[in-house]
Amino acid sequence: MSDDPLEPFAVAALAALLVGASTVAARRWGHGVGGVISAFPLIVGPVLMLAAVRHGTPFAAQAAGATLLGLVSLGGFVFVYAWSATRLRSSGSLACAWLAAAALGVVVGQIEVRAPAAFACAMLAMLAARRALPPEAATAPRGGPLPRWDLQVRMGLTALLIVALIAAADRFGPIVAGALAALPALASVLAVTTHRQEGLAAVLNVLRGTVDGMSGFAAFCLVVATLVQPAGILVAFLLATSAAAAIQTITLRRHASGTSLAAAR
């Protein structure tokens, strides 16, 4: 566990807020927008910064590179969950997706490449997952208001997952820390709850948004991995956040305009 016992809970609180923001955005502007917001590096950013402060910039650079490779697992999760959801319920889809993510995690965990190559692997995985997703679902989203407790449950589940992941990351070193940071914790919560409550069409749109939003996430990790040692913590994280915010803004506008066009039809 970290030196300060409050740090994991602070990061978990950020993760819960991100899921909450994604959920609210999905209900107002569409599930694709919610998926994009869920991919913003609000969690991995503090995790990598804490790693740099506590363990040094080489540790943080290595963890950021491992996070990029870990996105290959996330791409597998999205692909398998999406196709499983066309036939299975949320629990079965989640089990299949986590098995795929775990298998890919074992494979990429054996690879040692520099950050640019890891970035290329991550982007190729996201592109492949995006193009291989099922076509737009013909089923209509389920009607009726969502339960009042829905938002609180999503945020609570996310916080529990993040605390567990941070504890494991602190124990097993930078490679494991990076791999765990890329695990589909938020995607799991959003996919399962959306699938159960709003149906296939909604969860497919969430997953599309998540994959698209990961370009900003990957850019953040690439900047940290390449600049945190030569430029220092402050400069590297400021530039990484700026890059992620710029890419996410473009992606959000594209999804929002797509939602508007769909509504106009």
Q: Which residue has the higher pLDDT, 180 or 265?
A: 180
For the chain, the 3-state helix, strand and coil shares in percent, each to the nearest 5, are 80, 0, 20
Asked whether residue 91 is domain-assigned, the answer is yes
pLDDT of residue 140: 42
| Cβ neighbours of 88 (radius 10 Å) | 15
Asked whether residue 2 is domain-assigned, the answer is no
The answer for residues whose C-beta is within 8 angstroms of residue 233's C-beta and 6 or more apart is 49, 52, 53, 57, 60
pLDDT band at 136 (very low <50, low <70, confident <90, very high): low
Number of domains in the chain: 1
Gap between the Cα atoms of 84 and 97, Å rounded: 8
Domain of residue 161, residue span: 7-141+150-260
Assess whether pLDDT exceeds 50 at residue 196: yes
Q: Which residue has the higher pLDDT, 88 or 110?
A: 88
165, 180 Cβ separation under 8 angstroms: yes
Nearest to 181, CA basis, from 97, 59, 92, 80: 59
- Which amino acid, 244? A
The token pair that represents 165 in the structure block:
């992941």
Least confident of 7-16, 104-113, 117-126, 175-184: 175-184
pLDDT of residue 175: 54
- The pTM (predicted TM-score) of the whole model is 0.79
Alpha carbons within 13 angstroms on the beta-carbon side of residue 7 total 18
Gap between the Cα atoms of 39 and 91, Å rounded: 22
Asked whether residue 265 is domain-assigned, the answer is no
pLDDT of residue 254: 83
Mean pLDDT of 69-86: 93
The token pair that represents 208 in the structure block:
């599309």
Assess whether pLDDT exceeds 80 at residue 151: no
Residue with tokens 């969430």: 206
192, 17 Cβ separation under 8 angstroms: no
DSSP letter for 149, please. T
Nearest to 184, CA basis, from 215, 163, 209, 210: 210
Nearest to 178, CA basis, from 130, 220, 136: 220
- Which amino acid, 33? V
Gap between the Cα atoms of 62 and 176, Å rounded: 10
Chain segment 236-255, per-residue pLDDT in tens: 999 999 999 999 999 988 87
Asked whether residue 11 is domain-assigned, the answer is yes
| Cβ neighbours of 213 (radius 10 Å) | 28
Asked whether residue 252 is domain-assigned, the answer is yes
pLDDT of residue 2: 46
pLDDT band at 18 (very low <50, low <70, confident <90, very high): confident
Gap between the Cα atoms of 158 and 27, Å rounded: 19
pLDDT band at 170 (very low <50, low <70, confident <90, very high): low
Q: Which residue has the higher pLDDT, 259 or 154?
A: 154
Gap between the Cα atoms of 124 and 184, Å rounded: 17
Gap between the Cα atoms of 149 and 122, Å rounded: 35
